[in-house]
Amino acid sequence: MGKRAIVFNPGPAMLPRPVLERVQSEMLDFAGTGMSLMEMSHRSKQFEGVLNDAVSRIKRLLRLDERYHVLFLQGGASLQFAMVPMNLAQDGKLAAYVDTGSWASKAAKEARLLGKDVMLAATSSDRNYTYIPKNIPINPDASYLHITTNNTIRGTQWHFFPESGDIPLVSDMSSDIFSRVFDPVPFGLMYAGAQKNAGPAGVTIVIVREDMLERTPEHVPTMLKYSTFTETHSLYNTPPCFAIYVVGLVMQWLEENIGGLENMEDLNRRKANLIYDYLDEQNFYHNPVEADSRSWMNVVFRLPTPELEQDCIQEANQAGLVGLKGHRSVGGCRASLYNAVDVKAVETLVDFMRDFARKRS
Ligand SMILES: *Cc1c(COP(=O)(O)O)cnc(C)c1O
């Protein structure tokens, strides 16, 4: 087998090695069935076990109380941009959004397309999305307040959530779910495409609180109603079985290898400190994000010229450090430090960056 690269991809992204090895070992014969999990009925007792195990692990890891349903849907986080307003925006009320750039803007756009009365509660567009707005005004006439907890493209992250009182928070957590401990109680709904921090592409984790389900208007199509999936435990139609299985293994890895989200958070803090401390001590690389809004998951940085950025990405690639190119909409470089990227990988990256700066500055 060839040498494994260190994967800093923004998504699909690195998966824990023990998870990949387990998948490999079970590929031809899952649990003594003589079949791959991909060849099995989604209504078999084996798959039911896989699904229930993934749900229980997610509930334990996030400390969700019995009011929350954990669902596995398709269509990516991008479909949630539409399902959220379809199901949760109430007649005569506002749909409130915080615009922290890119994905957050797209979420608000879908609500507008659906004819909802969208209110921008706050935006960081005035300083090119380099910070997370503070003191978000809470409108009592809002159905919900939507935030994007980690901004994958801009490299910003909420390190405290708005105090929204009776207004439920709805959040796109695609790129930082399971990266740290947080209190789920203010959230009416949380969603995340699995391919950043929870598994392979093809499944979206949706966590919805029971009281949110009453809001859905009758005319919403069956496949777009959350209640369709709460009532059938994500088995209304064929779910993405293989992706759910791998998500379950990643959750098992978090519980058994890492020891839960407190430990994961400590590791993620150490990783982020390693790279931001280095970025702050020199002036060849530049991180544009305001200090209190820096993402632990996606670290964006610029070099003095686009040519140097290209060289840096290419040399890193040759050294086995892949995926450092910034999003095509903003350019520059970006290192995504999701859960599966370990402390040693970040040390290797910082050593590489130090070396490159010494040679080229
Ligand atoms: C990647 C990403 C998305 C888009 O996810 P898809 O699953 O491709 O639809 C949405 N929001 C955030 C924060 C993301 O990082």
Task: Flag whether pLDDT at 1 surpasses 70.
Answer: no
Residues noted as catalytic: 103, 172, 196
pLDDT in tens, 43-102: 999 999 999 999 999 999 999 999 999 999 999 999 999 999 999 999 999 999 999 999
Residue 107 to residue 279: CA distance in whole angstroms: 31
Distance 104 CA to ligand 1 centre (A): 10
Residue ranges, comma separated, of all CATH 3.40.640.10 domains in the chain are 21-258
- For ligand 1, the distance from its centroid to the CA atom of residue 103, given in whole angstroms, is 7
Ligand 1 close to Cβ of residue 10 (< 6 A): no
pTM score, whole prediction: 0.97
Please say whether the dihedral angle defined by the alpha carbons of residues 210, 214, 215 and 221, taken in this order, is positive or negative.
positive
At residue 203, the pLDDT reads 98
d(CA 172, ligand 1 centre) in Å: 8
**How far, in Å, are 86, 193, 226, 298 from residue 221 at the CA level?**
10, 21, 10, 36
In short, whether 309's Cβ falls inside 6 Å of ligand 1 is no
21-258 topology per CATH: Aspartate Aminotransferase; domain 2 (3.40.640)
Span 217-227, average pLDDT: 98
Written as six digits, the tokens of 67 are 């009011």
- 7-14+260-360: what fold? Aspartate Aminotransferase, domain 1 (3.90.1150)
**pLDDT tens digits for 109-142?**
999 999 999 999 999 999 999 999 999 999 999 9
Q: How far is the CA of 355 from the centre of ligand 1 (A)?
A: 33
The CB of 172 under 6 Å from ligand 1? The reply is yes
Q: Over the stretch 249-264, which tens digit does the pLDDT of each residue have?
A: 999 999 999 999 999 9
- Strand (E) or helix (H) holding 310: helix 306-318
Whole-number Å distance between alpha carbons of 189 and 343: 31
* pLDDT classification of 222: cutoffs 50, 70, 90: very high
Is there an atom of ligand 1 within 6 Å of 11 CB?
yes
Which strand ranges, in their side-by-side order, compose the sheet holding 187-193?
A: 68-73, 204-209, 187-193, 169-172, 142-148, 94-99, 118-123
pLDDT value at residue 130: 97
pLDDT of residue 3: 84
Give tens-digit pLDDT for 164-195.
999 999 999 999 999 999 999 999 999 999 99
**Six-digit token pair at 78?**
């991008």
Ligand 1 neighbour 118 (Cβ under 6 A): no
Residues of the chain with CATH 3.90.1150.10: 7-14+260-360
